Amino acid sequence: MKHTLTEDEDVLHALFEACKSLGIDLKDAASKSGLPAKLLTLPNHFVSSHLFNYLLETIAKKYHCQDFALHLANNLQTPELGLPTTVMSLSSDFKAGLERASQYSAYYQDTGYWRHQICEEQVTLIKSANNLSSKYYRQRNLLGTAQMFLLLNTLSSHLWQPKKVCFSFSNPGAKFSDTFHEFFNCELIFDQPNDSISFPAEYLEFNISSSDPVLLRSMEVHIRGLQEELLHDRDIVERARLIIDERLRFAHCSEDELAFYLKLSAADLQGEFAKAKTDFTELLEQQISARAAFYTQRCHVPMDIVLTSLMPYDEDRLYDLLKEREKEPTEPTLRQDDIIKGGISKPPLSN
């Protein structure tokens, strides 16, 4: 019987296969990039981290492979993007699936959350804009877009046909343009404000091949229980910390995104923080420095890699934050024993 891989195991396996197909020795590439070899044996820690983003970017640049993420996507057994797309895959049709997925936006295993809008008989799935993702985490960003594209195709039993795909980065040009067109097989537009996928609205009525209403109900009851357990009696600052750290597993988190996840306006969120005598930047930097300490102390990653992976736009600031942290004898933990990662993000698929 074939072993069913977890999402992280699937992505790491696809990474090995993509490298093999391109004649790249992944272990050697990781070692030369400065990452500890052991990370390649820990998919649940490595794939959901900035260290994975760092390795993807390093390989793409060193081996002149700007379409590397597409090779990785082509080797996935099952294209998924975390809890929202798991819920989507169990829904009755595309419309119901997209609406249910939107209830769990913070848990997308991608550089941003996906939302959909319908206009003039066209559906557009839009990934939240993030300058960091398009500039520093381009391969991870591209991988997420490719996974969503493949997922929609899979859920429709390969009957789905997109109209266009937009990217927030520039056209890689040369031979890479051919790879992009071969993979997506539709109109491609670069240098856009957001990554997005557009398709005819008629597909909203398509039945989803993997629909399972019983399992879907069971999963949503399980998720609500976990959310209640995690968020019960937590104030706005604690809830903000949990969500920021969830998003920092894959890329970054902006104040506007956090407000969206908390179902508040940006102004109301700022007001709540002011009452608690804090602000978004302070909370974000606390969570980034905690993650940086985790990478250096628990994963034994060199400081320079941690700085460039987590805060490429201001490495000196992160270095200062870590120095300040050293003065406080606190243990670097991510959430409470990584509860969200083991719970809300990936609830067990069992009846």
Position 111 pLDDT exceeds 90: yes
Strands 164-166 and 187-189, bridge-based pairing: parallel
- Write the pLDDT tens digit of every residue in 9-26: 999 999 999 999 999 999
Residue 315 lies in a domain: yes
Q: pTM, whole model, 2 decimals?
A: 0.91
Instruction: Please state, rounded to an integer, the average pLDDT across all residues of the chain.
Output: 89
Question: Higher-confidence residue: 209 or 337?
Answer: 209
Q: Looking at beta carbons, which pairs linking 266-269 to residues 24 or more positions away fall under 8 Å?
A: 269/236, 269/240
Integer Cα distance of 19 and 116 in angstroms: 33
**Would 338 be classed as within a structural domain?**
yes
Residue 298 within a domain = yes
Q: How confident is the model at residue 234 (pLDDT cuts 50, 70, 90)?
A: confident
| pLDDT score at 343 | 38
Is 48 inside a domain boundary?
A: no
For residue 179, being part of any structural domain is answered with: no
Report percent pLDDT > 70 for the chain: 93
Residue 259 predicted with pLDDT over 60: yes
Q: How confident is the model at residue 175 (pLDDT cuts 50, 70, 90)?
A: confident
Number of domains within the chain: 1
Cβ-based neighbour number of residue 314 at 10 Å: 12
Q: Which of 170-174, 281-285, 345-349 has the highest mean pLDDT?
A: 281-285
108: its two tokens: 């997308």
Stretch among 19-28, 239-248, 269-278 having the lowest mean pLDDT: 239-248
pLDDT at 92 over 80: yes
Asked if residue 205 belongs to a domain, the reply is: no
One-character DSSP codes across 109-131: SSSS-EEEEEETTEEEEEEPP-H
Residues 83, 75: Cα–Cα separation, whole Å: 21
Whole domain around residue 272: which residue ranges?
A: 213-342
Residues ≥6 apart with Cβ < 8 Å to 323: none
Give the confidence band of 233 by pLDDT, cuts at 50, 70, 90: confident
Does 314 map to a domain? Answer: yes
Q: What is the pLDDT of residue 54?
A: 96
Does 263 map to a domain? yes
User: What's the CATH code of the domain at 237?
Assistant: 1.10.10
Is the pLDDT reported for residue 332 higher than 50? Answer: no
CB 166 within 8 A of CB 158: no
